[in-house]
Amino acid sequence: MSRSTFSAPHEKLGSNVGLILDVPSSNLGISKRKWHSAFITIYCSRAFLSLQPSTLRKHTNSTFISRTLSYSIVRVEPVSVPAINGFKADQKSLTELVKEKNFKELLELGGIEEVASALKTDAEHGINGDDAEDIARRHEAFGSNTYKKPPTQGFLHFVWEAFKDLTILILLGCAALSLGFGIKEHGLKEGWIDGGSICLAVILVISVSAISNYRQSRQFDKLSKVSNNLQIEAVRNGRRQQISIFEIVVGDVICLKIGDQVPADGLLLDGHSLSVDESSMTGESDHVEVSVTENPFLFSGTKIADGYGRMLVTSVGMNTNWGEMMSQISQDSSEKTPLQARLDKLTSSIGKVGLAVAFFVLVVMLVRYFTGNTEDENGNKEYNGSKTKSDDIINAVIGIVAAAVTIVVVAIPEGLPLAVTLTLAYSMKRMMVDNAMVRKLSACETMGSATTICTDKTGTLTMNQMKVTKFWLEKECVEEEAYSSISPYVLDLIQEGVALNTTGGVYRPSLDSEIEISGSPTEKAILSWAVHGSNMDMEKVVKSCSILHVEAFNSKKKQSGVLVKRKGDNSIHVHWKGAAEMILAMCTSYYNATGVVKDMDTSEKRNFEQIIQGMAASSLRCIAFAHKKVPTEERLNADEKVVLKEDGLTLLGVVGLKDPCRPGVKKAVEECQYAGVNVKMITGDNVFTAKAIATECGILRPDQDMLGAVIEGVEFRNYTPEQRMEKVKKICVMARSSPFDKLLMVQCLKQKGHVVAVTGDGTNDAPALKEADIGLSMGIQGTEVAKESSDIVIMDDNFASVATVLMWGRCVYNNIQKFIQFQLTVNVAALVINFVAAVSAGQVPLTAVQLLWVNLIMDTLGALALATEKPTKELMEKPPVGRTAPLITNIMWRNLLPQALYQITVLLILQFRGKAIFGVSDKVKDTLIFNTFVLCQIFNEFNARKLEKKNVFKGIHTNKLFMGIIAVTIVLQVVMVEVLKKFADTERLNWGQWGVCIGIAVMSWPIGWLVKCIPVPEKPIFSYLKMKKNKHSV
């Protein structure tokens, strides 16, 4: 056909388009006219095609996307829009694309591949992690993966909170009145002393309280930074590597697996059976299916519920919904622990007693004053009816009220809540050093009461360093050097099953470099065995097949499967991998070493079961591989749901993985058992492996009766509730358990009155971790879901650290009890002395300033000294404290009452006979009482170190802080008596008087020793009173 045949219609079409576009063709040059003609031809041919509906209908059922869509990228990025920092995408568009789940717009953009290209990301190999400039450009263009935090509470906030305390307000009111009347009566030079000293004491109390709470708040912030700094698996330079969540940038390729938290907003590049829990964002509990073809959108803060995949990061930090939400949530560090709540109740009860005593003292002293029974320093009556000046009456009443208020102040043990705060803060800090990160304060103290620990096996009792040590093919164990004798066909199938049915990866930068294997310990061990043992070329195997469908592994199924299509012959194959006995149950035949398929009858299956049991009894974890070729007639159509064949499989082989026990785990288990804590092992492994490991760790004794001590999860599940409650105590090992079985066991133990601690690392362990009294998650192998459900994160995944946490928990409880005993001795003695003196003599020997000083010293320095005692092995020699055990035990009452009685007796003798005995003035006598009282508390602080042991000085050299505080207290007391005479209302004492005070105080040591020889009943004292009440009521 000649050229002219084309030119006529072209010219005609050109002129028509020229009219439409109002561009006269005659005005164009020859070369421009040819280009114009070519453009019109393409334009019109596409326009005519669009008018043919029949051609479109022909392709509607096709799975292929029309090629014309690929040109639409031209419309998205106009030539006039400059690239931002070299990226052909802007943050706003990317954020809206994912937020609105706009799949249509994503297709118009050219799909995920085009978005990756616009972000300069290689979808397969990720970004170049070594290029600092590229990372910096991404930070500049799209921001960092951090979010703005609400401003933390400043120091002044905690000062204001301390000011709101009712006692402080009463004291301030009293100080103001005292200042006013003091200055009026004695002038500014001396009149300020009483009121000023109360103000100073109040300021000190507020400062200590505010500083303590402020430091605790800062510590919570530090802990939240550590807990939020998740390690994420990213692909950079083609290599899987762990990076901090804060280092993620837009364009990064992130690997996701079951239990992971999605670290940023993004699009799914590829994945299998991926479902996401979006309840943290939407509140909906149903899991959302995520796939490349329908819903590839992933949101920061959501959790992977099932499956695995790789995502392309499109938004980070404040550009995500999660970032916006988290920036408005402040960490609540004011959580009240159960012990703090109990102490608040105790403080309140003591405060009420103090208030009653103070009110009684107030009434008695007012009556004595107004009836003329009180005298001044010169022996004259203070009140003479109408002759007494109104100012003198007001001053006297103010003095009486001040004395009554002081009794209230000394009665209220303000140091108790402070002691708990200091103890918890100190123990949290020390536990972090011992590889335990406390997420909930209450767990510190609850752990001390734990009666049962339900622990995982893998990674907790064992090292989680798997290695394939046995390989069985047919019914023979094949050594590594004999792998060459195996049929290449069988070897290829095994390698196919290993390489394609895995969540791990193999990376080799160059031929000279070492092979890097990533994944879970089990996956790494199997991949390492295949690569090094059978010379598997992972990349070659992966490229030879395409994956059609994946059944991801989870702790319930204990197996994973993959449907693959070979590119060479288009044949379709199913590969299964998982717990050996479960895979064996799916098989009806097996391969021998020569590649021949043999039928598996009942006796053959029994032989295989014995092989698996033998391996398991040697502490090996058994993993089996099975295969089946899918016949052509059984292949599914595109719209049918894929279900992998689970029957009629052919067994390829069984591998045995050795995971050695952690060093020191047997000793840690024995320590827990010696402390009266029952250790139970709950594992997904089979019963023979579980039994072998439990015996090795000391959970089972070799001579122990195994009937009822070792059971399988399914057996426990099928018990009636009554049977479970009856048998749960005897169970030591539960094998082949599901997360539901673990939850059931926790519920049963709690119903029986046990305080249960549970370790867990998987997503499905979350219910059991939440249900337990103390949830312990694993820091290395634990998923983010497990960590969020737990109270304490064991950073090194080691059971020995669990035993350390138990010891710290007991230490917290013990330190609090020590301080309660010490504090109550002070309170009882001070209350009784002032009460007796006020009622009998009309005066209090301990002034407001002195009592405030005692309260301050004992509350703050005493709390600090006793709260920082480190845990000792002695703590593990006692049985655990029960849920309902009283806070003040019989032992504590035995220790504190004789000490208080001794102090009361001595100080009352000094009060009524001191002047005569020592031949001193009233002022010196009162100073002797004050000095003796303070020194008694200092010496009694040593007694408080040990509640039961007679030797209170054991290990004192290791607690330098305790000795330092004692030294500081003594120095301050000397200053109070000898230097601040006017302030403290004291007189200087001579060496002999100091010797008498010290001699009286030292006697508290032998009294403490003798008292500990007195036996006490185990049953709490107050339980007898309740029993008597019940008898009377009957």
Q: Taking Cα atoms as reference points, which of 814, 792, 774 lies closest to residue 435? A: 792
Query: Side chain identity at 146, as an amino acid letter?
Result: T
Q: Taking Cα atoms as reference points, which of 466, 453, 451 lies closest to residue 685? A: 466
Q: How far apart are CA 233 and CA 310, in angstroms?
A: 10
Q: Are 910 and 928 contacting, i.e. CB atoms less than 8 angstroms apart?
A: yes
Cα dihedral 117→120→123→125 (10° resolution): 150
Tokens of 1004: 């508290």
Q: Are 261 and 784 contacting, i.e. CB atoms less than 8 angstroms apart?
A: yes
**Residues classed as catalytic:** 456
Residue 455 β-bridge partners: 681
Q: How far apart are CA 75 and CA 429, in angstroms?
A: 58
φ/ψ (deg, to 5) at 254: -110, 135
- Please enumerate in sequence order all residues whose Cβ is within 8 A of that of 1009, keeping only pairs 6 or more positions apart, or say none: 950
The two counts, helices (H) then strands (E), for the chain are 38, 26
Q: Taking Cα atoms as reference points, which of 408, 396, 406, 409 lies closest to residue 842? A: 396
Find where tokens 């709950």 sit: 682
Q: Cα dist. 981→131, 175, 407, 985 in Å?
A: 71, 19, 22, 5
Within 500-632, strands assigned E span 505-507, 516-518, 545-551, 559-566, 572-579, 587-591, 597-599, 620-630
One DSSP character per residue, 411-445 reads: HS-THHHHHHHHHHHHHHHHHHHTTEEESSHHHHH
Over the Cα atoms of the chain, what is R_g? 40
352: left (phi over 0), alpha (psi -120 to 50) or beta: alpha
Cβ count within 10 A of residue 793: 24
Q: Are strands 678-682 and 733-735 parallel, antiparallel or unpaired?
A: parallel
- Please enumerate in sequence order all residues whose Cβ is within 8 A of that of 965, keeping only pairs 6 or more positions apart, or say none: 861, 862, 864, 865
Within 180-249, strands assigned E span 231-236, 239-244
Distance of CA 307 to the CA centre of its chain: 25
- Please enumerate in sequence order all residues whose Cβ is within 8 A of that of 821, keeping only pairs 6 or more positions apart, or say none: 888, 892, 895, 896, 944, 947
